[in-house]
Amino acid sequence: MSVKVSIPSAFRRHTEGADHCECDGTDLAGLLDSLGSRFPDLKPHLRDEQGNVRRFLNIYVNDEDIRFLGKDYKFKEGDEVTLVPSIAGG
């Protein structure tokens, strides 16, 4: 299944400037694997050394935080995923 992924400007230097892409994945793990394979420079920004989603990476599916959709959420045709890195400031 193909899912549309929106790439934020902070990550575009790792995606050859792409702001959107279509990636295969039925769940979050599969989607992150697909993104990491397609864009190897992006891979370390998605998961930590243990393979967990980075603490400061927010992931939304159709504008809803994936944490509230449950860890076993399966993507549906037409889902749109948005990656949002947390940015500290002060």
Nearest residue to 54 (alpha-carbon basis) of 11, 20, 86: 86
Instruction: Give domain status of residue 90, yes or no.
Output: no
Instruction: Give domain status of residue 47, yes or no.
Output: yes
Question: Residue 15: what pLDDT?
Answer: 95
Question: Residue 62: what pLDDT?
Answer: 94
| Cβ atoms 12, 59 nearer than 8 A | no
Question: Residue 7: what pLDDT?
Answer: 95
Question: Residue 69: what pLDDT?
Answer: 78
CATH no. for residue 20?
Answer: 3.10.20.30
Instruction: Give domain status of residue 65, yes or no.
Output: yes
Instruction: Give domain status of residue 25, yes or no.
Output: yes
Is the dihedral angle over the CA atoms 85, 50, 52, 77 positive or is it negative?
positive
Question: Residue 89: what pLDDT?
Answer: 61
User: Which residue segment(s) compose the domain that 8 sits in?
Assistant: 2-85
Q: pLDDT (tens digit, 0 to 9) for every residue of the chain, 90 residues total?
A: 789 999 999 999 999 999 999 998 899 999 999 999 999 999 999 999 998 888 889 999 999 998 777 778 899 988 999 999 987 665
Cα separation, 48 vs 11, in Å, equals 16
Instruction: Give domain status of residue 15, yes or no.
Output: yes
Overall number of domains in the chain:
1
